[in-house]
């Protein structure tokens, strides 16, 4: 039997046919049909599913479920995309539209960060965990929780918004309208912004040289690369960033006593350079001597497809 | 059938005989036998249990379980008090000592903040909740979580230390050794300390008059009382306190999407004066439009006994 996993993003709709060993045996990616909205999205999922099944020598009777993850909030019944700004979906009855094509095959809908945590649980960093947290450091900070060996979608099914827990009450402005959120300090965007400030403050820095002093050429990777090479300005920015990230991770550990906290997204590509300092920082701030591991997320770009394909299993 | 609930504190050992309607039908309180350590504590529990049963016209055969809560950390097997500083218990095999008296009657051990959350679940603010958080604002900040309709003792059974999640990374020093913990901003102690500072800064304030400028006469209640009467210095301290507390509550809501956050401890006696501003503050910072309730904890001094008596039911 197969499960279909669909990862809808603002640019592409990625779809994969996942076998019982949780491998993606067939996959496709098409431009997200923004103009067509929900109906066209559902039609594409239907069409691509049939193509992938065909390529794999299967039919619809080999399909256990269709799982879909979106960058947005889902209603408590798991049927409607309340808001997915990048997709232009608002109160979009996406499940119903997909079910219209697939009829008796169960369809599941989830937030993409939750899906990514689920992918880590079934095939990645969280295998064997009962309680774990995923932080994805990109444009924003996404978060997903595993509690009791299952995807945790919030006590009221609103989802989890770890990125908007407060790390510095009253501090830096966050895109959500509040001040001091984890996202405002720990996103790749935040690292970039601090990099720009440091570069402007110090024209002798490597940060300045690498970007020619141009803000638009700065990004998280430039800061990390310069810090690795020992550039003083970059090291300072990076150390402060790690200190904030350490506080965010330690907060999750002190509240949930997680077995594992995994870090994904662009910034995590910094590898041991990041994780060695981060672990030290978290250990200092953890209330528990014997606390959970801090590791890189491993599912990368496949997290969405695998997580979506596992939504049915998560319910069982 | 009855359950015995025991709430051990640094001063008193309170014990109650709890019936199936979760009422304390008989109770006693004795000085905590500090000198006698674990063995004497177990003996007292045994002796008082027999007295209470006797008074209620029951016998040991009417006893379903003995539950004990302590202000400290319990090992993952629920048998040993790892550290309870106020009791002088360190690696104390308390369960074993109690079992030696009670033999076949099941004995359960838990942290007192977890027990308090359980009491709210069975008889208080959390009745009917699946996910809820309790913050107890006293000398420190205690915390307990209900997840999936049960007491959550941390993913690795280390417990939950909500008071040591970070609210202001790098901020005020906390007794735990870190900087910026919730406890450092939201405990009654923190409110008192800010009251002392404000009083010293402004000898014309009501804060100063009420205390005669003496730090030892300041406490959380004085700050709250003066704020209620509109004293400018006190209002400023109180508003800042509510802002931090609002951030702590909003963080829990954004991470866990709790149905209910209950606030207990001395500070919560401020009543609607506190809760009206707190709810407004939390609503502003909550990521979810439709978020959980923020209410006073209702179990008060009985929380320990009731929670302890419910430890067996929590496992079923």
Instruction: Report CB contact under 8 Å: B251, A284.
Output: no
Chain-chain contact of A167 with B166 (C-beta, under 8 angstroms): yes
Question: Do the Cβ atoms of B168 and A164 come within 8 Å?
Answer: no
Q: What is the nearest CA distance from B231 to chain A, expressed in angstroms?
A: 24
What is the rounded distance in angstroms from the CA atom of residue A151 to the CA atom of residue A129? 11
Write b or e for each residue in A116-127: b if 16 or more Cβ atoms lie within 10 A of its Cβ, otherwise e. Answer: bbbbbbbbbbbe
Cα separations in angstroms, A227 against A188, A266, A269: 15, 16, 14
- Token match 């350590």: residue? B37
Cβ–Cβ gap B258/A155 under 8 Å? yes
Question: Is B166 in CB contact (< 8 Å) with chain A?
Answer: yes
Angle subtended by helix axes A94-102 and A37-55, to nearest 10: 40
Does residue B73 surpass a pLDDT of 90?
no
- A 63-122 residues inside an 8 A Cβ radius of B: none
Nearest residue of chain B to residue A167 (CA atoms) = B167
DSSP B192: H
Pick from B280, B287, B297: which is nearest to B251 by CA? B287
Q: Is A166 close to B258, i.e. CB distance below 8 A? A: no
Interface contacts A/B by beta carbons within 8 Å: 158
Q: Which backbone phi and psi does B18 adopt, to 5 degrees?
A: -110, 130
Question: Which of these ranges, B175-179, B223-227, B282-286, has the smallest mean pLDDT?
Answer: B175-179
Band (B85; pLDDT cuts 50, 70, 90): confident
Give CA–CA dist A235/B312, Å, rounded: 53
Beta pairing, strands A2-8 & A63-70 = parallel
Chain B residues inside the 8 Å CB shell of A174:
none
Chain B residues near residue A75 by CB distance under 8 angstroms:
none
Cross-strand pairs, A6: A15, A68
Residues of chain A found within 8 Å of residue B244, distances taken between Cβ atoms: 169
Nearest CB among A131, A143, A154 relative to B155 is that of A131
Q: What is the pLDDT of residue A131?
A: 98
Position A179 scores a pLDDT of: 95
Residue A172: predicted pLDDT: 95
| Contact between A166 and B169 using a beta-carbon 8 Å cutoff | no
A167 to B164: CB separation less than 8 angstroms, yes or no: no
Tell me what percent of the residues of chain B surpass a pLDDT of 70. 100
CB atoms A292 and B155 under 8 Å: yes
Q: Is A173 exposed, middle or buried (0-12, 13-18, 19+ CB in 10 A)?
A: exposed
Stretch 249-278 of chain B: residues touching chain A, C-beta under 8 Å? 250-252, 254-259
Mean residue pLDDT across chain B: 95
Contact assignment for B250 to A156 by CB distance below 8 Å:
no
Question: Beta-carbon neighbour count of residue B59 at 10 Å?
Answer: 10
Beta bridge partners of A12: A31
**Contact by Cβ (8 Å): B113, B73:** no
| Contact at CB, A166 and B250, closer than 8 angstroms | yes
Supply the pLDDT for residue B72: 87
pLDDT surpassing 90 at residue B231? yes
The rounded distance, in Å, linking the Cα atoms of A162 and B290 is 17
Q: ∠ CA B277-B281-B286 to the nearest 5 degrees?
A: 145
Q: Which residues of B touch A148 (CB under 8 A)?
A: 147-148
Query: A132 — contact with chain B (CB < 8 Å)?
Result: yes
What pLDDT sits at residue B192? 97
- List CB contacts (< 8 A) between A132 and chain B: 155
Which residue in chain B has the smallest CA separation from A181?
Answer: B251
Q: What is the pLDDT of residues A110-157, one digit of tens each?
A: 999 999 999 999 999 999 999 999 999 998 999 999 999 999 999 998
* pLDDT category of residue A55 using cuts at 50, 70 and 90: very high
What's the whole-number average pLDDT of chain A? 95
Cα(B38)–Cα(B96) distance, integer angstroms: 10
- d(CA B129, CA B149) in angstroms, rounded, equals 6
Whether A158 and chain B come into contact, CB under 8 Å, resolves to yes
Whether residue B217 contacts residue B203, with contact meaning beta carbons closer than 8 Å, is answered with: no
Whole-angstrom Cα distance, residue B312 to residue B316?
A: 7
Q: Label each residue of chain A as H, E or C.
A: CEEEEEEECCCEEEEEEECCCCCEEEEEEEECCHHHHHHHHHHHHHHHHHHHHHHCCCCHHHEEEEEEEECCEECCCCCCEEEEHHHCEEEECHHHHHHHHHCCCCEEEEEHHHHHHHHHHHHCCCCCCCCEEEEEECCCEEEEEEECCEEECCCCCCCCCHHHCECECCCCECCCCCECEHHHHHCHHHHHHHHHHHHHHCCCCHHHHHHCCCHHHCCHHHHHHHHHCCCHHHHHHHHHHHHHHHHHHHHHHHHHCCCEEEEECHHHHHCHHHHHHHHHHHHHHCCCCCCCEEEECCCHHHHHHHHHHCHHHHHC
User: What average pLDDT does the segment B71-89 reach?
Assistant: 90
Q: What is the pLDDT of residue B147?
A: 97
Q: Could you give the ipTM of this predicted complex?
A: 0.93
Angstrom distance (rounded) from CA B158 to CA B152: 10
pLDDT for res A161: 93
B170 part of contact set with chain A, CB < 8 Å: yes
Per residue in B4-57, pLDDT tens?
A: 999 999 899 999 999 999 999 999 999 998 889 999 999 999 999 999 999 999
Percentage of residues in chain A with pLDDT exceeding 90? 90
Grade residue B179 by pLDDT with cuts at 50, 70 and 90.
very high
> How many residues in chain A?
316
Place of tokens 């280390």: B158
Q: Are A288 and B250 within 8 A, CB to CB?
A: no
Q: Mutual orientation of helices A220-228 and A272-285 as an angle, nearest 10°?
A: 90
pLDDT at A86 over 90: no
The answer to whether A257 touches A229, Cβ cutoff 8 Å, is no
Chain A contact set for B290 (CB, 8 A): 156, 158
Residues of B with Cβ-Cβ distance to A164 under 8 angstroms:
254, 287
Q: Please check whether residue B108 is in contact with residue B124, taking contact to mean a CB–CB distance below 8 angstroms.
A: no
Q: How confident is the model at residue A73 (pLDDT cuts 50, 70, 90)?
A: confident
> Which residues in chain B are contacts of A162 at CB distance < 8 A?
254-255
Query: Per residue in A23-53, pLDDT tens?
Result: 999 999 999 988 899 999 999 999 999 999 9
For the range A30-39, what are the long-range contacts, defined as Cβ-Cβ under 8 Å and sequence gap of 24 or more? A32/A8, A32/A87, A34/A10, A34/A87, A34/A88, A37/A88, A37/A89, A37/A92, A38/A81, A38/A89, A38/A92, A38/A93, A38/A94, A38/A97, A39/A97
Q: Which residues contact B154 (CB under 8 A, 6 or more apart)?
A: A131, A256, A257, A288, B160
Q: In what order do the strands lie in the sheet with B150-152?
A: B150-152, B141-147, B132-137, B260-264, B293-296
Q: Are A160 and B257 inside 8 Å of each other by CB? A: yes
Rounded-to-integer distance, Cα A92 and Cα B270, Å: 44
Min Cα–Cα distance to chain B from A3, Å: 28
The distance of A175 to chain B (nearest Cα, Å) reads 11
């Amino acid at each position: 039997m197969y499960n279909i996993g669909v990862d809808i993003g603002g640019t592409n709709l990625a779809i994969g046919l996942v076998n019982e060993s949780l491998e993606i045996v067939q996959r496709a990616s098409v431009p997200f049909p923004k103009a067509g909205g929900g109906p066209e999205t559902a039609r594409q999922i239907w069409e691509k599913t049939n193509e992938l099944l065909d390529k794999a020598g299967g039919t619809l009777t080999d399909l256990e479920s269709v799982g879909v993850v979106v960058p947005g909030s889902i209603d408590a019944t798991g049927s409607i995309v309340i808001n997915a700004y990048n997709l232009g979906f608002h109160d979009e009855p996406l499940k119903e539209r997909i079910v219209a094509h697939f009829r008796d095959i169960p369809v599941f809908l989830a937030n993409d960060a939750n899906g990514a945590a689920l992918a880590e649980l079934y095939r990645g960093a969280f295998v064997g965990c009962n309680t774990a947290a995923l932080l994805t450091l990109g444009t924003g900070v996404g978060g997903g929780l595993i509690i009791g060996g299952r995807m945790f979608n919030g006590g009221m099914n609103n989802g989890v918004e770890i990125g908007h827990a407060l790390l510095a009450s009253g501090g830096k402005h966050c895109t959500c309208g509040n001040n001091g959120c984890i996202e405002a300090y720990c996103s790749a965007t935040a690292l970039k912004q601090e990099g720009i400030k440091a570069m402007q403050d110090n024209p002798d820095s490597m940060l300045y040289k690498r970007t020619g002093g141009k803000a638009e050429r700065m990004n998280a990777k430039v800061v990390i690369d310069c810090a690795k090479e020992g550039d003083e300005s970059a090291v300072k920015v990076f150390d402060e960033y790690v200190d904030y990230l350490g506080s965010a991770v330690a907060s999750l550990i002190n509240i949930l006593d997680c077995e594992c906290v995994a870090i994904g997204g662009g910034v995590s590509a910094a590898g041991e350079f990041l994780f060695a300092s981060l672990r030290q920082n978290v250990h200092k701030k953890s209330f528990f001597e014997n606390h959970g591991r801090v590791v890189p997320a491993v599912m990368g770009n496949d997290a969405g497809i695998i997580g979506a394909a596992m939504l049915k299993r998560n319910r069982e």
